[in-house]
Amino acid sequence: DGCIKAVGQADVIRNQFSEATFERIIDCSGKCVLPGLVDAHTHPVWAGDRVHEFAMKLAGASYMEIHQAGGGIHFTVEHTRKATEDELLTAFQQRLGRMLRAGSTLVECKSGYGLNLESELKMLRVIERARKSMDIGISSTYCGAHAVPKGKTATEATDDIINNHLPKLKELKLSGEINVNNIDVFCEKGVFDVESTRRILEAGKDIGLQINFHGDELHPMKSAELGAELGARAISHLEEVSDEGIVAMARAKCAAVLLPTTAYMLRLKQPQARKMLEEGVIVALGSDFNPNAYCYSMPMVMHLACVNMKMSMNEALAAATINAAYALGKSDTHGSLEVGKQGDLLIINSSRWEHLIYQFGGHEALINYVIVKGKVIYENERCETMRSY
């Protein structure tokens, strides 16, 4: 059934299963077995290349300046609306393949580059098709409130989402056509304010979606306090979170999904990972893969979290496995090697697991096998011929 049957000392396991036959036995001598990595925040369905914006950022343009100049989310929206469902699916599957080879076995995937009902549903159908056709685990997020569409005010966009988008999603969810897990809003100055965010998140919760949204990224918005009050499962970014917000999240057992790539790429203030951990917040990590932060690799994300956010390697590994699974409401089935949980694991070509974080950008010769539901879905031949260090 793809679930873990036993965990323990090798001799005990050999005894217990002495009569069993196996299709395949993998010799892990001198290697490490780890839980499959969980990427708790990505935007992987889109069309249109934004490499030109990287040069603008390096020249000093801010995120909001690029956004106001017609770049950023709006540039991607324009290209995503024009792309066919099949074109989006092909690009999305290739991206998921790269995430998988970097060790991610469960990935949260958002819509949000459609901003009208037709295009948002197109993105959600693409996510659903990938979920059904690929081995990688997917948690699907409706993020229709990612930006205010051109020609609308935030209030008009909010009304459209509540009156048109969410009822349609509920209908498609009930018919089994699209299975959406989470609702997301970009709660930010100049995008969706706290009141609009509250209305959308409550309406999403009413149709059975978990609240998992962008908050306190560029300006302090008291998003963390709002999320704690609404019973949010997780809030992402939190570069500008208040001390009160951190305490509220800890009390509410609301996970903080920190995104080291975004703070790094946009040269923002680093999220206060240490303070959150000391206050008892459940800290998770995500790659924030999107045209603005083009990173597929959770090992690289863990490295940045350790160096820039002062997390220990143990904390980073927990944040990229069990805590990230918690942020997606899946910690009872994913994120650790325990009896009864789904058999998602990595075998790395090193006798010390820390190499997965220590080798910055080195995962291509380090990840030997990626296993999902007990089935080898990626085997890296290069590992057999070379030591990883």
71-127 pLDDT per residue, tens: 888 899 999 999 999 999 999 999 999 999 999 999 999 999 999 999 999 999 999
Domain ranges of the chain: 3-29+340-379, 35-47+83-328, 49-81
Burial class (CB within 10 angstroms; exposed 0-12, middle 13-18, buried 19+) of 24 = exposed
223-230 and 194-206 helices, crossing angle to 10° = 20
Copy the structure tokens of residue 222.
Answer: 């008291």
Q: How confident is the model at residue 381 (pLDDT cuts 50, 70, 90)?
A: confident
Q: Which helix (H) or strand (E) holds 372?
A: strand 367-372
For the ranges 34-38, 68-72, 146-150, 219-223, the lowest mean pLDDT is seen at 68-72
Report the pLDDT value the prediction gives residue 300, as an integer from 0 to 100: 97
pTM over 0.75: yes
Give me the chain's average pLDDT, please. Answer: 95
Q: Could you tell me which residue, 16 or 266, shows the higher pLDDT?
A: 16
CA–CA dist 191, 153 (Å, integer): 9
Multiple choice CATH, 35-47+83-328, 3.40.50.720, 1.10.620.20, 3.90.650.10, 3.20.20.140: 3.20.20.140
Q: Are 316 and 286 in contact (CB under 8 A)?
A: no
Q: Give one DSSP letter per residue of 245-309, joined into a string.
A: HHHHHHHHT-EEEE-HHHHHHTTPPPP-HHHHHHHT--EEE---BBTTB----HHHHHHHHHHHS
CA 188 from centroid of its chain's CA atoms: 20
* Amino acid occupying residue 91: A
